Structure 1
């Protein structure tokens, strides 16, 4: 099963969620729903090389995809999904 870390308030995440509706090979984990979900995501974000390019840029790095083998990607295409044309919500308000 592919885990997808995201938030209901993120347009990129909701775009991905629409694509996986009814697909049992994906599990959505809303990091805003419970602090344990946020901690789980942060423990990945703090160390995984997939986040190297976005750390310190104001981007959170969601949606984040964790494949069954434990590898992490931020590209929906890597798990057979599509990216939203305009993306990259940032803390400075650019992108959303």
Structure 2
């Protein structure tokens, strides 16, 4: 199973349903991931949140929908 973090207010997440803002536990989980994974370094440097974010079945974290098999 692929875990997806996103928000409806994010223009890059418009076609992705999960909303990290709807549950404080999911938000905390995402923030822990964002604070510890180097995948988010460029997003943070650019002032971005880093969503949509995909955690693949093997635990790989990516910000590219294509890596998760989505072609948006």
1:37 deviation in Å?
1.1
Structure having the higher helix fraction is: 2
**Structure 2 unmatched ranges of 5 or more:** none
Map 1:1-96; keep pairs closer than 5 Å. 1-15=1-15, 17=16, 29-83=18-72
Bigger fraction of residues in strand: 1
Q: Runs in 1 of length 4+ with deviation above 4 angstroms?
A: none
RMSD: 1.4
Larger radius of gyration: 1
For residues 44 and 76 of structure 1, what CA distance do their matches in structure 2 show?
Answer: 17
Q: How many residues align?
A: 72
Q: Matched residues in 1 for 2:65 and 2:9: separation?
A: 18
Secondary structure of the corresponding residue to residue 38 of structure 1: helix
5+ residue gaps, structure 1, are 18-27, 84-96
So what's the TM-score if we normalise by structure 2?
0.87
